[in-house]
Amino acid sequence: MIKEYFYEIHCNAADEWLNEISPLAPRFRESDPNQWIFRGHADSEWRLVPTAFREESWSSIESYGVRDWSKMKERHQRVIESNVIRDFFNRSDIAGLPLPEDSPRVRELLGISTLSFPTDHDKSWPPHELWSVIALAQHYGVPTRLLDWSHEAWTAAYFATADAIYGQHPVAPRLGVWAYNRPIHVIQNYVEQSYRKDKGKVHIITAPYASNPNLAAQRGAHMLYMRPAVPDDLADRPCFEEELKRIAEEYKSDALFLFTLPTDEAPRALRLLAKAGVTAATLFPGYAGVVKAMREQREIASDIMQRVRSKMPL
């Protein structure tokens, strides 16, 4: 019998769910602080797909030439991504905002210093010199091929619950938090580097925290999946979880988990997280985060009153 190394843990109550992903939970308590990374989803059925690979992500931003999504070539996919990053960089620069790892090389790659469009889309994308600025853009809602994660499980839980309550999408039966083991990832990538050179690789990267207080407060990290693609083929838009499951299977270790919770438990989870000091005010340092936390308090108070009236445990 083949052992599976990906597990779905289904919880029924908010406190059970938060205890399962707590750093004091049995599967995490012996881990180093940065050993696991976590990602929250308002719908546990959502796949691990970055925003640049979702058609709806581009509707909130200038078109950038997005037409027939299903027939888009890899070259065009890279063009719209580089265009939107160049636009983000240029506007931030004009506004006098600091940009991480700014250099003549970065400006050349984005076509800013040369006043031209990047044309070399046959090489791997994105080049590592642009990772930090792309991570910054991703954090502020620009579609990129990076996937947001956090080193803090309860931070991921906050985003899953808050999005389940306030998100502009159909309410799903269950929400979820993914957990992935970084050391196993690093070791398996090292083992495979000699025989999977042409198969692609998932990178776990960080952007400088110093210039991004929100990212620092959320202890954010990013995931990037790079694999060879032919520019004139259809756009390559991989789902990350298939590669993460493969890595866990190759290493033969329990490296990937999905912890789910009924969505109607989201208000209670949000309240328990607030009791632990995990709120919009702590994750978004500044006045906007404070006001967001004040609005969330209505949902928390409503959950308390509902439980008092039904004599459910608080």
> Count of CB atoms within 10 A of residue 163's CB?
17
Query: Which of the four pLDDT bands, split at 50, 70 and 90, describes residue 3?
Result: low
- Which of 176-185 are b and which e, b meaning 16 or more Cβ less than 10 Å from the residue's Cβ? bbbbbbbebb
Backbone φ, ψ for residue 223 (5° rounding): -120, 135
Q: What is the pLDDT of residues 238-268, one digit of tens each?
A: 889 988 988 888 877 888 999 999 999 999 9
Cis peptide before 50 (omega within 30 of 0): no
Locate 131 and state its tokens.
Answer: 């990772």
Query: C-alpha distances in angstroms, 296 versus 152, 266, 303?
Result: 20, 12, 11
Question: Could you list the residue range(s) of the whole structural domain that residue 3 is in?
Answer: 1-49+147-264
Q: What is the pLDDT of residues 42-76, one digit of tens each?
A: 999 999 999 999 988 887 776 555 668 889 999 88
Residue 212 above 90 pLDDT? Answer: no
Same-domain check for residues 62 and 120: yes
Assigned domain for 66 exists: yes
Same-domain check for residues 11 and 62: no
* Domain stop point among 83, 117, 144: 144
Same-domain check for residues 227 and 155: yes
Residue 7 above 80 pLDDT? Answer: yes
Number of domains in the chain: 2
Q: Positive or negative, the Cα torsion across 297, 298, 300, 305?
A: positive
* Domain stop point among 230, 248, 264: 264
Same-domain check for residues 107 and 187: no
Question: For the chain, what is the mean pLDDT?
Answer: 86
